[in-house]
């Protein structure tokens, strides 16, 4: 019996790398903001500007912050899971921006595995076998 348990555990450990998927998934910020759920969770008082995208003149900066979100990847395409994560991360950024008195989050970049993903139109998530995640960082600001 002990031998059977040991062999089973060894087989599980050997199979673990096949579950360790960590693929990059890219979606547009616009596709996140166009989600019906975004209309109810983001109230429009805070604007979001990706790094490299045109933005109004910055009047005051309040500092940089990070927002992370993860979701169950079951029954979702990698892009659907990424959009859900991005929306959750934007909601957190919105809440913090309001507390700081900002009306925007500017220079938003995605980061994963220690590196930044910068795009004027897109954000990037990590898609795993069971979980999907996103990490965003941006600067709270007051813009014209």
With a cut of 50, say whether residue 11 has pLDDT above it.
Answer: no
Supply 144's token pair. 């014209």
Write down the pLDDT at residue 115.
87
- Compute the average pLDDT of residues 29-41: 97
Alpha helices (runs of H) in the chain, residue ranges in sequence order: 2-15, 29-33, 36-41, 78-100
Q: Render pLDDT for 36-63 as a digit per residue (tens, 0 to 9).
A: 999 999 999 999 999 999 999 999 999 9
With a cut of 50, say whether residue 132 has pLDDT above it.
Answer: yes
Write down the pLDDT at residue 18.
42
With a cut of 90, say whether residue 143 has pLDDT above it.
Answer: yes
39-76 b/e (C-beta count within 10 Å ≥ 16 → b) = eeebeeebbbbbbeeebeeeeeebeebebebbbebeee
Write down the pLDDT at residue 75.
87
Are the CB atoms for 118 and 109 separated by under 8 Å?
yes
pTM equals 0.84
């Amino acid at each position: 019996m002990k031998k059977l348990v040991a062999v089973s555990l060894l087989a599980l450990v050997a199979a673990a790398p096949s579950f360790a998927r960590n693929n990059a998934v890219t979606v547009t910020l616009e596709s996140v903001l166009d989600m019906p759920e975004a209309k109810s969770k983001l109230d429009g008082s805070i604007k979001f500007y990706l790094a490299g995208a045109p933005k109004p003149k910055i009047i005051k900066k309040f500092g940089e912050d990070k927002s992370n979100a993860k979701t169950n990847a079951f029954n979702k395409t990698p892009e659907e899971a990424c959009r859900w994560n991005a929306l959750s991360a934007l909601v957190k950024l919105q809440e913090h921006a309001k507390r700081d008195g900002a009306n925007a989050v500017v220079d938003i970049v995605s980061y994963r595995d220690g590196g930044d993903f910068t795009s004027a139109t897109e954000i990037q998530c990590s898609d795993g076998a069971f979980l999907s995640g996103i990490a965003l960082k941006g600067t709270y600001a007051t813009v014209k």
